[in-house]
Amino acid sequence: MTNLPSLTKMFLLASTLFVLASCKAPMKLSSSSNNDNSLTKMPDEEAIKKAVDETYRVICFKQGETLNYDNIQNCFIPQAQLINYRSGKLEIVSLSQFIDDYKSAVTSGVVKSFYEEEIYGRTDQFGSIAQRISSYKTYMNNMDTVIERGVNSFQLVKTPNGWKVSSIVWDVEKAGRAIPTYYLNGTVHNK
């Protein structure tokens, strides 16, 4: 660089410093909107929430109503799994086994009515995969008393027919373990 004119040296030095500084600058996400919420809202959040809401809806029924078990199946991919810790140990069932068990409980009269709804939910999505954390409450055979509260983790995939549930993993409140507030009101928790 000693043979170059001083103006050229300064230009090369300034260009090098600019390139180095830009490499250390934080990356900003591009957005088609100037709205700050556009960076936190998932692209398909409404469609994903709708798929989860539909999954809750199709398992609910009032006493005397007939459940359409095909509607339950339509919310899931055929290979879906339902995984829970309700009894304190890991239980994994296929979608068809879940439907058969549910149908048996309804037919036998153990379940006369059933209603489950989301209390709070949060969606995460990347491309064609998504997860929705969904705190819920359940009523069974009596709409005046909540019999269970818990947290569902819905995993969903985008199919040609829209968002479908590939699995649900859940656990329920137990003595000494309530749903944490960050799964009830969305406040951020610190570890």
Read off the pLDDT of residues 1-49 as tens digits, 9 standing for 90 and up: 455 455 445 444 444 444 344 444 444 443 333 444 445 667 899 999 9
Asked if the structure places residue 122 within a domain, the reply is yes
Asked if the structure places residue 3 within a domain, the reply is no
Eight-state DSSP code of residue 129: E
| CA dist., res. 25 & res. 18, Å (int) | 10
pLDDT at 185: 85
Asked if the structure places residue 81 within a domain, the reply is yes
pLDDT at 6: 56
Query: Do residues 111 and 140 touch, judged by C-beta distance below 8 A?
Result: yes
Asked if the structure places residue 2 within a domain, the reply is no
> Residue 162 region, left (φ>0) first, then alpha (ψ -120 to 50), else beta?
left
Portion of the chain with pLDDT greater than 90, in percent: 72
Query: Do residues 172 and 60 touch, judged by C-beta distance below 8 A?
Result: no
Alpha carbon 157 to its chain centroid, in Å, reads 11
CATH of the domain at 53: 3.10.450.50
pLDDT at 88: 85
| CA dist., res. 83 & res. 91, Å (int) | 6
Residues 6+ apart with CB under 8 A from 61: 67, 106, 113, 114
pLDDT tens profile 110-134: 999 999 999 999 999 999 999 999 9
| CA dist., res. 157 & res. 130, Å (int) | 6
How does residue 86 score in pLDDT terms, banded at 50, 70 and 90?
A: confident
**Is the confidence at residue 76, as pLDDT, over 90?**
yes
| CA dist., res. 93 & res. 26, Å (int) | 45
Our count of domains for the chain comes to 1
> Residue 139 region, left (φ>0) first, then alpha (ψ -120 to 50), else beta?
beta
Asked if the structure places residue 26 within a domain, the reply is no
Alpha carbon 125 to its chain centroid, in Å, reads 8
Asked if the structure places residue 98 within a domain, the reply is yes
Asked if the structure places residue 135 within a domain, the reply is yes
Asked if the structure places residue 139 within a domain, the reply is yes
- Domain span at 156: 44-183
